[in-house]
Structure 1
Amino acid sequence: MKKIFGIAILTTLMACSQAEKKSTETKDSTKTDAASVKNEVSIKDEKKLAIFTNYVDLKNALVKSDAASAQKTAAVLKNSLAAYEGCEPTAEIAQKIASSNNLVVQRKDFTVLSADIIALLKNAEIEKGTIYVQHCPMANKGDGGDWLSTEKEIKNPYYGNEMLECGRVAEEIKAK
């Protein structure tokens, strides 16, 4: 009787274990499908769209921990910001990033740059897509840092490959 009871429990546990694996596989494939959908963002104001596009290029360079690419994209972003009235101080921050080849310094300045650009784009008239405001609580020695992304999936510009997925979506700026 004890053997039959033991076999019944073992069979039940194995069946539950298999069910958990199947549900995990389903979740993973769903996640991949959702991540592969391209979120194209369109902003009515062409100057704000240029700023956002150049900003995303800079963010992606920092995600890849590519200091040289970050310098180049920050220089382009600086020009976009300088062309937008009221963004001259933010253009100076982009110039600081463009002037440095040190990732630590670039990422520190990226925090201030991001705060300014987030404030600018919260009032933008988005025609299509979603802009994700993302947050890493560990950035800047625990002070945290925000950034913008066209993807819901977290790709952390403050740590690159060290902690690529550290962070969360804090807000979504959507088309109206």
Structure 2
Amino acid sequence: MKKTTLFAALVAMFAFASCSSDSNQHQADATEEHDHEHHDGMAHGDNLPAAGTVVVETPTFDSVAEPMKTNLSQLLDEYIALKDAMVESDAETAKEAATTILNSANAMPVATLQVPEQKSFAEEQVEKVRTSAAAIAATNDLGEQRNQLEDLSEAVFSLTKAFGATDKKVYYQHCPMVNNNQGAYWVSTNSEIRNPYFGSSMLKCGSNEEVIN
């Protein structure tokens, strides 16, 4: 489902080099690393991708009946609370946030959707939310929680984008060093990079890859 443009790939390569530098600096001196990461983050992480850059392809549903749109907006807010808990390396708060997301997913009014394409898309993505949130809520292990974040992030971003579920700007952000340098994405409503996979160890490692709204 993901389609990374050449531009996004080049940005990711640059982010990888900068993040690797940040990691080495962290090992040398924690205080100097903080300043270095902040500088590097402003140099590459907080810049925006070119207009029209697409990482996650979704359909566009122009007309969606309530309460679906409202519930999806709430889901995004709940996801941000979970992501922020992981930025803070707070496994207990992340677990609680995941439980809230799971409850919202279980209560998502997909049945109110009358258009078959909308309903089938929502069912697929909400099930991904449900599966990932349940896995995060089932453990106090921060590493295991973070392993589930990318699938949850893609599903939340896809739903938000397809249904136009918020008036906020939403950023799809990427760190190339996650998962043994395979990389991973997350969602934010702030362009400034705050990495939920590494927390304070590499807080500014990442880049904005797609923006909606």
1:65 aligns with 89
Cα deviations by residue, 1:82-120 (Å, 9 ceiling, x for unpaired): 222311342121011011111110000111111211221
**Selected match of 1:164 from 197, 203, 206:** 203
1:83 aligns with 107
Point out the structure with the larger strand share.
1
Q: Which moved more, 1:154-163 or 1:79-88?
A: 79-88
How many residue pairs align between the two structures? 134
Distance 1:108 1:127, change over 3 A: closer
Contact 2:95-2:139 at 8 Å conserved across structures = yes
Deviation for aligned residue 1:168: 0.3
Stretches of 4+ aligned residues off by more than 4 angstroms: none
Which structure's relative contact order is higher, taking Cα pairs within 8 Å and 6+ residues apart?
Answer: 2
* 1:74 maps to amino acid: A
State the secondary structure of the residue aligned to 2:204. Answer: coil
Distance 1:82 1:159 in 2: 29
- What percentage of aligned pairs have identical amino acids? 36
* 2:94 maps to amino acid: A
Distance 1:141 1:106 in 2: 16
Distance 1:56 1:127, change over 3 A: closer
Distance 2:183 2:139 in 1: 22
Normalised TM-score (structure 1): 0.71
Is 1:117 aligned to residue 156 of structure 2? yes
Is 1:155 aligned to residue 179 of structure 2? no
1:55 aligns with 79
State the secondary structure of the residue aligned to 2:187. Answer: strand
Distance 2:81 2:191 in 1: 16
Is 1:137 aligned to residue 185 of structure 2? no
Deviation for aligned residue 1:121: 1.5
Distance 1:121 1:99 in 2: 25
Normalised TM-score (structure 2): 0.59
Unaligned 5+ runs, structure 1? 1-27, 36-43
Distance 2:142 2:97 in 1: 14
1:9 aligns with none
Distance 1:164 1:76 in 2: 25
RMSD across aligned C-alpha pairs, in angstroms? 1.9
Deviation for aligned residue 1:127: 5.3
Distance 2:199 2:129 in 1: 23
Deviation for aligned residue 1:126: 4.8
Deviation for aligned residue 1:129: 2.5
Contact 2:174-2:186 at 8 Å conserved across structures = yes
Larger Rg: 1
* 2:139 maps to amino acid: S
